[in-house]
Amino acid sequence: MKIYSLSIYSKNYNEEIIRLAAEYDLSSFGFFQRSTVQDIIMVISKTIAERTTPGQRQRVEEQPYVGYVYARSDIPLTGVIITDEEYPQRVSFSVLNKILDEFLIKFPQNDWDKSNTISYPELKTYLSKYQDPKQADQITKVQEQLDETKQVMNRTIESLLQRGEKLDDLIDRSQEISFQSKAFYKQAKKTNSCCTIS
């Protein structure tokens, strides 16, 4: 029952996705894996956010991670939470609702385009607080009924990608991630284990 990452995205005037804020908790990985896992999660999160239309909620699986994404319908703002397979879906969407609402109150839309990232330290606090899903219970209760009626699309990364596209290629082409991470990822794929060499 772990949250690995929380991140918030918007789109710029070119309709390209931009990351406004992101936090990671990778303490369960070893020193040499941590940066690779972070890079992979970053690419997965961005890919998911990019491929979610306004108003949509999706659950996206890419073992051993599960990503939940919610794109607001009123404004171009999307939240992504990456968890393990145990973390409850209901709680994940509540957390996303909460952080997007709060983010909007703190930062008006005009502020977003000026820089790519916004300092939003509360995100780190939420990331550690909601590691225990019971902590999210109060916010969950308020939103439960709302969530109950909304459809959640169940997806895998492959089904989100366009024909001929592959996650491996996206990772290989990404300019944001280091060559070390790319090497780790390739090696891990060979031994069929994510981000560790064994």
Partner 1 sequence: MEVEKLYQTLNKIFDTHEIHEIGLLPYQNTQPNDDYYPFFFIESNLGIPLEYVDKLYKYAHGIFMKVRDCGSDGNNETVKLLKDSTRCIVIINTDCYSALNARKKLIIDNHINPIKELKFIDLLFTFPKHTKHSTIWFHRKWIIQQHVPSDDISWQHEIDITRRVAELYPKNYYAWTYRHWILLKISDDSLHSQSFFVDELKIMKIWVQKNISDYSGFQHLQRCLIRLSQYYDNSFSDFYGISRKDILEKINTKLQNQGLKNKDSDSIVSLWYKEIQFTKDLILRYPGHESLWYHLRFLSFVWIWLKLAGYLNNSIGFKFDTDRETDEKSHNSIVKKWPELENELEFSHYCIRQIDLTINQDNDERFESMIIQKQNALAFELWISELNDRTKFDIKDLIVKLAEISIDSNYYIVQNNK
118/174 with CB nearer partner 1: 174
CA 87 to chain centroid, in Å, comes to 14
Q: Are 94 and 71 in contact (CB under 8 A)?
A: no
Cβ(47)–Cβ(157) below 8 Å = yes
List of residues contacting partner 1 (CB under 8 A): 1-2, 28-33, 59, 85-86, 88-90, 131-132, 134, 148-149, 151-154, 179-180, 183-184, 186-187, 196-198
Number of residues that make up the chain: 198
DSSP of 79-122: EEEEE-SSS-HHHHHHHHHHHHHHHHHHS-GGGTTT-S----TH
CB of 170 to partner 1, least distance (A): 19
Q: Toward partner 1, which CB reaches closer, 7 or 58?
A: 58
The Cβ of residue 186 has, within 10 Å, a number of other Cβ atoms equal to 12
The residue (of 30 and 54) whose beta carbon lies closer to partner 1 is 30
Measured from the CB of residue 59, what is the shortest distance to partner 1 in angstroms?
6
The residue among 13 and 31 lying less far from partner 1, judged by its C-beta, is: 31
Residue 184 beta carbon to partner 1: minimum distance, rounded to whole angstroms: 6
Shortest distance (Å) from residue 90 CB to partner 1: 8
Least gap, CB of 60 to partner 1 (angstroms): 11
CB nearer to partner 1: give 134 or 163.
Answer: 134
Rounded Cα gap, residues 5 and 22, in angstroms: 7
